[in-house]
Structures are given as structure tokens and as C-alpha cells.
Structure 1
Amino acid sequence: MQLEGKVIDTMRQRQSVRTYHDVALTEEHIKNIENYIEEIPRISPFGKIGNIEFIEVTSNRSEKGVKLGTYGFIKSQKGYLVGISEKDTYSLVKFAYNFQMLVLYLTELGLGTCWMGGTFSRKSFEKELIVSEGEFIPCVTPVGYPREKRRLFDKAIRAVAKSDNRKAWENLFFDESFHSSLSKDNAGQLELPLEMVRIGPSASNKQPWRLVVSKDRRQVHFYIEHTPNYSSSLGYDMQLLDIGIAMCQFDLACKELQLAGEWVVENPGMNVNNEQIEYLYTWKSR
């Protein structure tokens, strides 16, 4: 079960939804969600990473009666997708890739989502799920039917979070090294996949991804520029999820454009000149 239709169009259309219709999810949609979760280990390049669980909600309480709340001004959601992962760097990155695949699939179904990494009670969700030693809940997303007209406070939240603003190409993408910015005109067949990275969601819209494209345009090196102390109170680096999201956006766009590639960890050893920038992955054309 792959994403249907045009995933690039889906990426362009998706927005974080905080206000939902007070209507229960249909049995068909719940079945679709659960089936896709089971399918992820087969269709993801990283296989099974952690777990993703769907919890149905009625009046902000699960079937077990646990109150899950209306965190971050989330209103009338009828379910949550809950992620479970180990805390190490590569587990978080790969998990976020898989979680974003599911978020995009829900978008195609006409369902609303909103990545949440810090503004929810992990203890409440832990009462619902089996979280093994060494694992934790890095993120959740509400699930529901979006209101056609967002409420005023929903628009206000987007404005405060700068959700509709994105950094310019020259601040995110680089040509051969960090000394030269990459322009759209010189990106070649990678222009659309890179643009899908640029418009992808990230915590507080920080967009911590920094991508360096090789001279032959056959390799793309993914780096993270950490925001110091950004999520230190949570006990993990939330921005690693953003890199997994960016990798998913890039990879799925490439696949739609029939650009075959694979993910490898082969640090090119570039001169970074910024102690906050860290190499993570390379996409290599096949």
C-alpha cells in the first residue's frame, strides 16, 4: 500500500490542523490508518523503527477513559497517532521518516494532522500504551476532519509560529560545499525534491536542515543545524525529528519523479565552520 496520487501535491497542500469537526472518524478511515501502520515496515527504506499506535478519542478521553487533552489549542480531535521510539540519533531520524509517511497518507485521506513534540502530556499517553525500557514517546499528532474555515485563533497560532514562512533556498541548500549556496536554476532534476524539503513542517518552523548537493547532482548530504538548548527540557533533541521529515519529503518526491536512490551514512568530511552543524545522512542516486 503506497501513497496514492501525487505525493508532491499532497506535500504542498498539507498544513497543520488544530481545529476539527466534532465528528467521529468513520470505521473505514480507522481501518485505513491501522492497515497503513502495519504496511510501513515493508514500504519504508528503514523498515520497522519503534511503533506507531492509533488511539480513538471521545470527549478528550480514550476508550480506556484516559484524558488525553486538547494540547496546543487542539480542538475536537477524534484520535491520536502516538509514536514510540528509542532516543538515539538515528532511531529518531528514521522514526520521523516513517511517521511523516503516515501523516502524508492521512492527508490524502482528507484527514487533518499536526505534529506535536513538546506540548502534550507523555504520562497520559503512556497509560494507554506499552512503552518498553529504553523507549519513549517523541511525538503525537491529533487526527480528525479539518474544519473548512479555521477559527481565528487557529490562524493566529500559525502567525505566531511563523508556520507560513519558510527560509530562502540560499539559507538551506548548498552547492558542493557550505561556501556556495545552491540556486533553483542550478539544482537540475533535484529542484522539486529540494523544494519539498523547504516547505516541510518543523518544530517552531526552525527548519534545521542544511543540504549539500554534489557537483554531479547524484548525492545530497543531509546535515542538521542544531538550535542550542531548543528542547533540552524534554530530554531529547526534537529537531532530529525535523531531519527525518525532511528526508521523507525529499525521498518520496524523488520516487514520484522516478529518481532512484538510497540512504547511506558516508560523511563527506566537509569543512563546516559551525559547531552546531552535524552530518547525518546522504541520499545517493542509483
Structure 2
Amino acid sequence: MSVIHSLIETMRGRQSIRTYDTKSLSDSDQNKINAYLKESQNFIGPFGGTGRIHFVPVNHNVTDKGIKLGTYGFIKNPKAYLVGTAVNEKYALVEYAYIFHRATLFLTQLGIGTCWMGGTFNRNSFEEEIQLAGEEFIPCVTPLGYPKDKQRVFDKALRFVVKADNKKRWDQLFYDSTFKKALTKEKAEQLEIPIEMVRLGPSASNKQPWRLVLSEDRKVCHFYIQHTPNYSSSLGYDMQLLDMGIAMCQFELACKELQIAGSWEIDDPQLQSGNEHTEYIVSWKRGK
């Protein structure tokens, strides 16, 4: 399969794949994956930190018999996994997810299916395959494989269960200058497509916890997280922070493709959200 060069097109079309073909990943694709994982620049996040991602083939520890995915069904016929490691700190998790999502988009361009798994999976089996360093843990993994041609009925049923195709509207997610005024596509100007890519991004249980506020001069976009109370408390880390890294990745990659220059800064504008569960994360500023 030829590579789709437009990342915006890739982000628009990507879906979580839970049912894979029985054929193994080709040597050519495995070589491309290994080459990607050897490039240090692929593991530099938006705050200058680095992450680690491992390629783990299916074996006796990491079974191909079906990995339970929480209450959403099973992963069928995975041929390998990408496994990432991070420390359990707010910005480390955000940055980790940014790096990990960038890798999943690369795989999508190769025609390889992925599915974020951050909840119920056997972390011990993966820990036996990689070397954890210091305070690292495994926030999430993704199975890898070629999408099965006849997967559609099975995966559509699962997508219905997790409401994967039920994305929130702009007026529920994005704001103009303050949290009191909804942002429209027309008023977003050049940032319409990058902001739309945030809306289309994957998130845990499709909660879409990101909230964006675009400044009046259209030069700064503030990223907030609206926490779902007690959503992942049993896991020992805030899984929704991963969603923010995904949102940042989708936004920035779209900006780069559209040649809109900008950079990330942590500079809280102290906007009043009116929601006690809403927390400032980062701002994207045009220029530089």
C-alpha cells in the first residue's frame, strides 16, 4: 500500500482497528517501523522531553488469542504491539501521548491498523518484554496488524458501543476569547482545520476532554482539559492526560502541513471556565 502523504487526510480517515487479518506484517513494513523507532527526533515531544516506544512481536507472553479491551470487546489477531513507557507526571504523560500518537499516524500511513489501549490490559506481560527504567510504567499500548477486510460488522458494533462516531460539536468544545462565547468555524480563520483535527482525534471512551479557547487576535490557542471525575482513578494515573497529548499532536501536525508556524508555551491566561473540573494545560502561539 502506498503511503498517504497528507497527515490531515490520515487524521480524517483514521479509525481504531480491533480485528486484524491473520497475515503477518511484511518485512518491508517491519523495517520501516524499526527505522522509525531508531530516529531519535521521533521521540522528542512538544516540551523538549523524550519518550520511549518499543516494538513487541506477539509471542507466548503477549498472546495472539485475543486481548481483553475493558468492556469493549477483544482485539483479534494482533501481529505485534507498540508499547510506550513514561513516568506518572502530568506533563510527562501529555508529552508521551503526543509522541505515541505521532507514531500511530505513521503506522496508519503505512496501512497498518492501530487501537489505543490505556485501560484494561495485562501490563505484566508487556513488562516482561521491555526494560522499565526508574519510575517508568506503561500508560498504554496499541496492537498492530493489517485491517481485516470483513471486520466491518464487528468493529462497527464496537464503535457504536464506545460512541466512537459521535463526536461533540464545535460549540461544545471550542471557545472564542472566553469560555462564555462559542467559537465557530468561520471565526477560527486559518486555524479552522487544526482545531477540527482536535475534534476528530481519538480519546478514551470518546470523552473528548479537550477544551480550546482561541484568543481575540487569533494568535494564541489555549488548551484545557475538562476532567471526567474519577474516570481512571482505579488505574493510578489520569488517562485523560493522554487525550491532551493526542489533541496537541493533531493540532500541531495540521499546522505544520498548512505551513502555519507556532510553538507551545505553558502560560496560563487565567480564564474563568465556570467548571471546577476544567484545568489549563498549554497554549499554542503563532510565529517562531
Q: Give the TM-score range, shorter chain.
A: over 0.9
Q: State whether residues 40 and 47 of structure 1, in contact with CA within 8 Å, keep that contact through their aligned partners in structure 2.
A: no
Letter in 2 for 1:138: P
Aligned length: 278
Aligned to 2:16: 16
Runs of 4+ in structure 1 off by over 6 angstroms are none
Deviation at 1:49, TM superposition (A): 2.4
Q: Which whole-Å CA distance do the structure 1 matches of 2:266 and 2:257 have between them?
A: 23
Q: Which whole-Å CA distance do the structure 1 matches of 2:261 and 2:145 have between them?
A: 34
Aligned to 2:84: 83
Q: Helix, strand or coil: the match of 2:130?
A: coil
Q: Which whole-Å CA distance do the structure 1 matches of 2:5 and 2:233 have between them?
A: 39
Aligned to 1:5: 5
Q: Show CA shifts across 1:144-198 (max 9, x none).
A: 0001232533221110100011000001000001011101111100100010000
Deviation at 1:4, TM superposition (A): 6.3
Letter in 2 for 1:67: V
Q: State whether residues 211 and 224 of structure 2, in contact with CA within 8 Å, keep that contact through their aligned partners in structure 1.
A: yes
Q: State whether residues 49 and 85 of structure 1, in contact with CA within 8 Å, keep that contact through their aligned partners in structure 2.
A: no
Instruction: Indicate whether 1:67 and 2:62 are aligned.
Output: yes
Percent identity for Structure 1 against Structure 2 = 56
Aligned to 2:212: 211
Letter in 2 for 1:209: W
Aligned to 2:37: 37
Q: Which whole-Å CA distance do the structure 1 matches of 2:168 and 2:194 have between them?
A: 16
More off after superposition, 269-278 vs 143-152 = 143-152
Aligned to 1:161: 162
C-alpha distance 128-49 of structure 1, shift in aligned 2 (>3 A): same
Q: Which whole-Å CA distance do the structure 1 matches of 2:134 and 2:109 have between them?
A: 34
Q: Helix, strand or coil: the match of 2:228?
A: coil
C-alpha distance 105-249 of structure 1, shift in aligned 2 (>3 A): same
Deviation at 1:132, TM superposition (A): 1.9
C-alpha distance 279-109 of structure 1, shift in aligned 2 (>3 A): same
Give RMSD over aligned pairs: 1.5
Gaps of 5+ in 1: none
Q: Which whole-Å CA distance do the structure 1 matches of 2:62 and 2:8 have between them?
A: 36
Alignment of 1:70-149 (within 5 A): 70-72=67-69, 73-149=74-150
Deviation at 1:7, TM superposition (A): 0.5
Letter in 2 for 1:30: Q
Deviation at 1:83, TM superposition (A): 0.9
Q: Report the TM-score, using the length of structure 1 for normalisation.
A: 0.94
Q: State whether residues 50 and 86 of structure 1, in contact with CA within 8 Å, keep that contact through their aligned partners in structure 2.
A: no
Aligned to 2:53: 52
Q: State whether residues 7 and 257 of structure 2, in contact with CA within 8 Å, keep that contact through their aligned partners in structure 1.
A: yes
Q: Which whole-Å CA distance do the structure 2 matches of 1:114 and 1:19 have between them?
A: 10
